[in-house]
């Protein structure tokens, strides 16, 4: 990705907390597989799904 403004970054909705979260550089390779906005939501996935 080229350097984009924060408003131009792709967003997704977290499947646990239903909040939007933006693309991060560390997710560059796995953006299609990212479902959770944080480690906390990933650990709570069983409780909410």
Two tokens, residue 1: 């990705």
Q: How far is CA 35 from the centre of its chain?
A: 6
| 38: in domain | yes
The structure's pTM equals 0.72
Residue 31 placed within a domain:
yes
Q: What is the dihedral of CA 29, 34, 39, 43, to 10 degrees?
A: -140
Total domain count, the chain: 1
The range of the structural domain enclosing residue 14 comes to 6-48
Could you tell me if residue 1 is inside a domain?
A: no
pLDDT in tens, 33-43: 999 999 999 99
pLDDT of residue 7: 79
């Amino acid at each position: 990705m080229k350097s984009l403004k924060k408003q131009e970054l792709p967003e997704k909705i977290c499947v646990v907390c239903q909040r939007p979260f933006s693309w991060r550089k560390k997710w560059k390779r796995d953006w299609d597989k990212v479902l959770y906005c944080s480690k906390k939501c990933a650990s709570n996935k069983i409780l909410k799904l």
